[in-house]
Amino acid sequence: MSFLPYVVAVWVCVIGLYGIVTSRHLIHAIICLSVVQSSTYVLLLAIGYRKGYAAPIFIDIPRSTKAVDPVVQALTLTDVVVGGAVTALLLAIAVQLDKHLGTLDPDELDPLRD
Amino acid sequence: MSSIPFATDLADLAPVAVAGPFLVAAILVTALPFTRRHVELIAALATSLVVALCVALLLKALHETGPVVSRLGGWQPRPGGVVVGINFTFDSLGAALALLAAVLVAAAQAFTLRFAAAVGATFHALLLVFLGGLVGFALTGDLFNMFVFFELMSVSAYALTAYRIERADSLQGALTFAFTNSVGAIMILFGIALLYGRTGALNLAAVGQALAGRESDGLVVVAFAMITGGFLVKAAIVPFHFWLADAYAVAPTPAGIVFTGVMSDLGIYAVARIYQTVFQAPLAPHAGGVRAVLIGFAVATALLGAVMALGQDHLKRLLAFVTISQIGLGLIGVGLLTPDATAGVALLISADGLLRAGLFVCLGAVLHRCGSVYQSRVHGAGKAMQRVWPVLFTAGTLGLAALPPFGAFWGKALIEGAAADQGYGWIPAVFFVATVLTAAALLRAGARVFLGWGAQSTSSSDPREPKAEERELEESRRRVPQAMLASAAALILAGLALGALPRVIDRAQQGAHVFADREAYAAAVLGRPIPTRPPVAAAHIGAFEVVLALVTVLAAVALAAMLLGRVRIPFTPPAGLRRAAERGFLRLRRLHSGQIGDYVAWATLGFAVLGGTLALAT
């Protein structure tokens, strides 16, 4: 079993967090949040993956075929839906904010500035 | 076990309490283009149904010796302890939390009763989704379901916070709220994935059972840190707490009622639930270390929230910091990891939740009548309100300050007793300081607004406070509607009277012992006979606790009087010390910058500290 997917998952998570922390634009920050979210997809799929096993769809393969874990794939799907909902809502808020303030730079949004 | 669809067991109705609100919310939104009639009525009926179901489930849980299991779809566990399907598993504590949520949502709906124009059908639908997620979260027995309900609740809470899209500060509050909580949720999912990778199970009982056999290792500790940290974001524990004040201060009042009353409490409920069912056995040899770490975070939260509360001009923001401080006190009880402390937390968060929600309604009434919630702007303006409002406000504050025998006193006394048993004899001092500061902040605010006491200050306003005047309701400001008064009075009286319920301490203790009994939980879910538990020794609440609580309340009143200039201080603190304190406070306030980047950085630091200290402690 390879460690690579786990390293990738952690890397994607950390790079996304770094992106949010240093972001200069709200849309950029929102995309970074979905990058962080994607790290969980990698992690979940890596946990269920077994080398050489088939996809867990038994329509055209014998029932006895060894397949990768379908549970984590279901979890990933749910997670994708959740992530999509959060991103959509955040983008909607960003659009409204832009309408009011005409900017999405966090420094311009900074309430401490004035 | 019943056969579907004929439910013969009361427990089989548990899913209705979750699915019901979702379904009604969907109907409300679907019908929106055609009709707006009866929206409030339909939403109120749905909430009443949930309240009734939660009462039934609570009564059922109180009569059982172990947790109540409701197997969705009737999937029975396989022999050999393999769980198939997803189930709801709850005890009286979970059911009580669900009931608290339903009651608060009902209060929020009562608050909006007269203002159909101000809050539309979408608002009610979001509130119902929030309720469904909350109830599901409190009742479920499955890790991944917990995550999904958590997200459902969170996303509807973000939308509720941003409901008034015409206001920039609402949107900003919702953004910081959504970012920090999403990061927390992702960390929870990371931890869940690690646990699934180790055990191949998602059912709380099955995961706990699989981990029980062997010693804890790095992976278990990392999973524990990520899941706990994620829920601590929701609970707004320092340094994850920044979002809470920003969001609660700008949320519409009906949403704020529910948020301040129950949302943060869910975070510490989840920490306790997951520790007791999953991590209790593998981390048992290191319980002392886990206890120290959790209590460390909790104490920092309780004190920081209290100090910040004292420096707020915006009333909703003040109450938000009071919430933070009190959740910190609750986490002390959770962190003690003993059943009696958990019983104390259950009493504390239900009483405090009701009282805080009641106070939030009072603030809503002030906003409605006086047009603002800045102490400096509504100074003395509350004099024009009915005399019952200051009485309610003071009663709620004294209940929060744990005046015996009301409200939060019993929970606080139980936690303090449990702390002494675990060698944390100094915990009462933390309770004393936090309670005195928060109660004094509230009392001072009440005296300023309702009585016009104290000097009218304009200098101390927090830069993070929303600037624009709030105009929540466009209707006449002449009188506060009776529905507002009724919901405030009901919440505050319920919070005060909670301690007077027959055998409530005894029942909380019984429930907490079921809650903390991993073996019984696993047995109930895996279909084995529940082991008998030794009888619970009744907690002893002595004269010391009563005297301490009375002294606390007196100190809070004295501090408030001092701050209002009603009482002369016999000494003047040296100017150097005062300036240092002021500078320290300003620095602390500047940390609450409202910047998403800063908040996420703090949260990341929090995860690192939590993980690091847990690794050292285990």
pLDDT at B197: 92
- With a CB cutoff of 8 Å and minimum separation 6, the contacts of B614 are B221, B224, B225, B289, B290, B293
CA distance B541 to chain A (A): 46
Q: CA B467 to CA B35: how far, in whole Å? A: 36
Please tell me which of the candidates B174, B178, B596 has its beta carbon nearest to residue A106.
B596
Q: CA B423 to CA B444: how far, in whole Å? A: 35
Q: CA B118 to CA B124: how far, in whole Å? A: 11
The answer on pLDDT for B618 being more than 90 is no
Give the pLDDT confidence of B41-74 residue by residue, as tens digits: 889 999 999 999 999 999 999 988 889 888 888 7
Percentage of the residues of chain B whose pLDDT score is greater than 90: 57
Query: Rounded to the nearest 5°, which phi and psi values hold at A70?
Result: -75, -20
pLDDT range class, residue B533, cuts 50, 70, 90: confident
- Whole-number average pLDDT of chain A: 88
Please tell me which residue of chain B has the smallest CA distance to A84: B155
Identify the contact set of chain B against chain A, taking CB-CB distances under 8 A: 144, 148, 151, 155, 158-159, 162, 165-166, 168-169, 171-172, 174-175, 178-179, 182-183, 185-186, 189-190, 193-194, 196-197, 202, 463-464, 467, 590, 593-598, 600-601, 604
Among residues B42, B47, B48, which one has the least CA distance to residue B28?
Answer: B42
> Which residue, among B177, B186, B219, would best test binding to A if mutated, counting the most A CBs under 10 Å from its CB?
B186
Q: CA B75 to CA B172: how far, in whole Å? A: 45
Q: Is the ipTM of this complex over 0.90?
A: yes
Lowest mean pLDDT among B438-442, B469-473, B516-520: B469-473
Are A97 and B171 inside 8 Å of each other by CB? yes
Beta bridge partners of B87: B71
Q: CA B140 to CA B71: how far, in whole Å? A: 10
pLDDT range class, residue B471, cuts 50, 70, 90: low
Give me the amino acid identity at B304: L
- Whole-number average pLDDT of chain B: 88
pLDDT at B466: 53
Region of residue B380 (phi > 0: left; psi between -120 and 50: alpha; otherwise: beta): left
pLDDT at B79: 79
Are B190 and A43 inside 8 Å of each other by CB? yes
> Which residue, among A47, A68, A77, would best test binding to B if mutated, counting the most B CBs under 10 Å from its CB?
A47
CA distance B600 to chain A (A): 6
pLDDT range class, residue B4, cuts 50, 70, 90: very low
Identify the contact set of chain A against chain B, taking CB-CB distances under 8 A: 13, 17, 20-23, 26, 29, 33, 36-37, 39-40, 43-44, 47, 71-72, 75, 78-79, 82, 85-86, 89-90, 93-94, 96-97, 100-101, 106, 109-112
Q: Which is more confidently placed, B472 or B455?
A: B455
Please tell me which residue of chain B has the smallest CA distance to A19: B597
Are A44 and B193 inside 8 Å of each other by CB? yes
Please tell me which of the candidates B169, B171, B600 has its beta carbon nearest to residue A93.
B171
The DSSP result for B122-163, as a single string, is HHHHHHHHHHHHHHHHHHB-BHHHHHHHHHHHHHHHHHHHT-
Please tell me which of the candidates A78, A79, A111 has its beta carbon nearest to residue B594.
A111
pLDDT range class, residue B464, cuts 50, 70, 90: low
- With a CB cutoff of 8 Å and minimum separation 6, the contacts of B318 are B309, B312, B441, B442, B445
Q: CA B525 to CA B242: how far, in whole Å? A: 38
Peptide bond into B405 cis (omega under 30): yes
User: Based on the number of CB atoms within 10 Å of its own CB, is B583 exposed (0-12), middle (13-18) or buried (19 or more)?
Assistant: exposed
Give the pLDDT confidence of B278-312 residue by residue, as tens digits: 999 999 999 999 999 999 999 999 999 999 999 88
CA distance A60 to chain B (A): 26
Q: At what angle do helices B596-617 and A4-22 cross, to 10 degrees?
A: 140
Among residues B430, B400, B410, which one has the least CA distance to residue B307?
Answer: B430
Sign of CA dihedral B49, B50, B52, B53: positive
Q: CA B71 to CA B75: how far, in whole Å? A: 6
**Most confident stretch, B92-96, B385-389, B448-452:** B92-96
What number of other Cβ atoms are within 10 A of residue B547's Cβ? 11
The pTM (predicted TM-score) of the whole model is: 0.93
What number of other Cβ atoms are within 10 A of residue B458's Cβ? 10
Residues of chain B contacting residue A47, judged by C-beta atoms under 8 Å apart? 193, 196-197
Q: Which is more confidently placed, B376 or B525?
A: B525
Q: Judge whether B102 and B135 are in contact, CB under 8 Å.
A: yes
DSSP B520: H
User: Which segments within B501-595 are labelled E, that is strand?
Assistant: none
Q: CA B112 to CA B110: how far, in whole Å? A: 5
The answer on pLDDT for A114 being more than 50 is no
pLDDT at B459: 47
User: Based on the number of CB atoms within 10 Å of its own CB, is B1 exposed (0-12), middle (13-18) or buried (19 or more)?
Assistant: middle
Residues of chain A contacting residue B182, judged by C-beta atoms under 8 Å apart? 33, 36-37, 86
CA of residue B211 relative to chain centroid, distance: 29
Across the A/B interface, how many CB contacts are shorter than 8 Å? 113
CA distance A68 to chain B (A): 13
CA distance B558 to chain A (A): 34
Q: Which is more confidently placed, B594 or B50?
A: B50
Give me the amino acid identity at B173: G
Among residues A24, A42, A25, A26, which one has the least CA distance to residue A83?
Answer: A42
- With a CB cutoff of 8 Å and minimum separation 6, the contacts of B254 are B108, B109, B111, B112, B119, B123, B127, B364
The answer on pLDDT for B85 being more than 60 is yes
Give the pLDDT confidence of B130-184 residue by residue, as tens digits: 999 999 999 999 999 999 999 999 999 999 999 988 888 889 999 999 999 999 9
Please tell me which residue of chain A has the smallest CA distance to B159: A89
Angle at B416 between CA B216 and CA B499, to 5 degrees: 115
Are A97 and B168 inside 8 Å of each other by CB? yes
Give the pLDDT confidence of B555-576 residue by residue, as tens digits: 999 999 988 887 777 777 778 8
Mean of pLDDT values over B497-504:
81
